[in-house]
Amino acid sequence: MISIAEKDRNALRFLWVKNPLEESSDYTVLRFTRVVFGVSSSPFLLNATVHYHLTLNLELQKALVSKLLRSFYVDDVITGANTVKEAFSLYTESKELMRKGGFNLCKFNTNDPALQERISLNEGTCTAPEADETYTQMALNKVQTKLRGERKVLGLIWNVDDDEMVYDLRNVVDTVTEVGPTKRQIVSLTGRSFRRFTSRRGTPLKVISDNGTTFTSAAKVINSIVTDRAVSEYMSGLRVDWRFNLEKAPWWGGLFERMIGLMKRCLRKIIGRSGLTYDELLTAIIEVESILNSRPLCFIASDDLEEPLTPSHLITGRRLTNIPDELCYRRINEEFNDEVSPTLLNRRLRYLHAVLDKFWVRWRDEYLLSLRERYTREQKSCSPRKIKVGDVVIVHSDEKARSFWKLGRVEEIIMGADGNARGGVVRLLSKGKRTTLLKRPVQKLIPLEVEESPEMEESPDIERTDPTVDASEKKKEDDREGTVIEDGNRKSTRPRRIAAVEARDKILARLCEN
């Protein structure tokens, strides 16, 4: 026990009831005369007391005291020695040194059986494993079962026979499963995966991600969490532009969607339904990566003696699946084993420029020219109407039947890099005052009407016909279509056409009200 100075005991007063069974029992005021165990400051007081006791003996046993100061953790000592003799000497000297301050070092454990037996004989008793567990741990069924040769050190199980630390992760897995992922875990995993990617392939200029629900939710969480100045400076220093594709438009990421499909196809053929460990799966993924980077980018001719261009040529300068050219390396080493001269360096530089020029010629003639091939579609007589701001559209949905697709009004047009409309911001029709804005590609927005394609402009090479004949033919077509001409304007007399126009006007009016 460690006593407390007389002047400090008044700060440790407490009430003591003489007989708690009696209602009118008297109570008295008592004071602690020793360091209290079980309060918040107890570990600090114990550490300070042990440190003070060791520093008093620093000049007498400097080596031993320095080692114990580095080895103490609260009331436990973790240290070791190179030989059994040194370890037993450390045991006796440390036990005697701590005994001077009223501390009794006990429960010694070692991975040497002879030393453990010698210490047990010197101690006279051997501690049972159950004595290390508290009543609370046993009541909560938190006691870890230890096998033969296992000892408990700092709350962990140490197998002295194999000299290994044993961890029971069942409670950890159950707790994590019940709690679920936290915001800090999401940020940590995202940061580690991004750093792993940039360490292998360099920092990307732009990151294009799919606009799935999982990705956008994670992005919102990350944006709300990453407020630390150091993190902000790190991301701004990288100058990484992270963009999302338009919602419900996976074809916008054509390149990486294609690569994902190829990766899944290769893994499906390699793995099938078999189960793999983490290391085996990582090996399979790296092999698939090598296969995809070795695919030719252009057509392969039967009489072409040169190997085709592959993505690996842009990364390593050769195909990854080729056997290294030992003869080439040997010849280069023989040349550089001699005295290096300006003539040799100039010759190697000219050779390197020639290789790069040849590669650029093949890249331009074989690959870039093949990208110019386009499929020309035939001109149709009727084409879908291009959406514009204010149009009423039907929003396509894969989760609902066609009869349950919602109506909306186009609020904004999203233009592509080519200047054409690629998507739109749609305000959905709602029963209440709450409105919902969705971003959808033009393929998911269906206009209520389809208008005829504009008339082809007259070509100067085509002979002009008699306007009277054209007018008569025009009137016949109007009569057949059920339309009349009033003051030069076409007016529809078809009931279906009139009903469609009235329905459109009503929908527009209803949207404007909301």
Specify the DSSP class assigned to residue 382: B
Q: In sequence order, which residues have a C-beta less than 8 Å from that of residue 391 and are 6 or more positions away? A: 409, 410, 447, 448
Comparing CA positions, the residue from 295, 270, 265 lying closest to residue 281 is 270
Token pair belonging to 102? 């009223």
Q: Are 75 and 46 in contact (CB under 8 A)?
A: yes
User: How many helical (H) and strand (E) elements, i.e. helices and strands, does the chain have?
Assistant: 16, 16
Q: Are 365 and 438 in contact (CB under 8 A)?
A: no
pLDDT score, position 385: 61
Q: Are 245 and 416 in contact (CB under 8 A)?
A: no
Pairwise CA distance, residues 417 & 67, whole Å: 69
pLDDT tens digits for 442-483?
Answer: 888 888 764 444 444 444 443 444 444 444 454 444 444 444
What H or E segment, with its residue span, contains residue 242? strand 241-244
pLDDT at 233 over 70: no
pLDDT tens digits for 389-422?
Answer: 888 888 888 888 887 888 888 899 988 877 888 8
In 247-307, which ranges are continuous DSSP H helix? 254-271, 278-293
Comparing CA positions, the residue from 185, 205, 183, 203 lying closest to residue 194 is 203
- Write down the pTM of the prediction: 0.35
Pairwise CA distance, residues 12 & 34, whole Å: 10
pLDDT score, position 114: 82
Pairwise CA distance, residues 423 & 416, whole Å: 8
pLDDT tens digits for 248-273?
Answer: 776 776 667 777 778 888 888 878 78
Backbone φ and ψ of 486, nearest 5°? -125, 115
Token pair belonging to 372? 């110019």
Token pair belonging to 131? 């004595």
Q: Helices 213-225 and 183-201 meet at what angle, rounded to 10?
A: 100
Pairwise CA distance, residues 363 & 276, whole Å: 39
